[in-house]
Amino acid sequence: MAARRIAPLAIIGGLVAGGCMLMYAISPNEEELIKKLPEHNAGRMDESKSRQQLLLNKLKEAADSPDPVWLTKRK
């Protein structure tokens, strides 16, 4: 009778512990996160700034247009 109650708890506990270990194993450390930031790489930083400026220009263009956004065409 006790085994019927303990077995599911052991399985659930094992799954939770396994999930925690998997998350710990695949999550990057602080150094890896910093390396992926665009501020760490000058080329990626310039690319990111140019994309942001392009998006800002498109948004301004869409805001100034009298047509709704879904009717504006790509150029």
Domain ranges of the chain: 1-27, 37-75
Cα dist. 67→37, 58, 62, 70, 73 in Å?
A: 37, 14, 8, 8, 10
The Cα 49–Cα 47 span in angstroms is 5
- pTM greater than 0.75 (yes/no): no
Measured CA distances, 45 to 12, 28, 40 (Å): 45, 21, 8
Is pLDDT of 20 > 90? yes
Max mean pLDDT among 2-6, 15-19, 37-41, 54-58 falls in 15-19
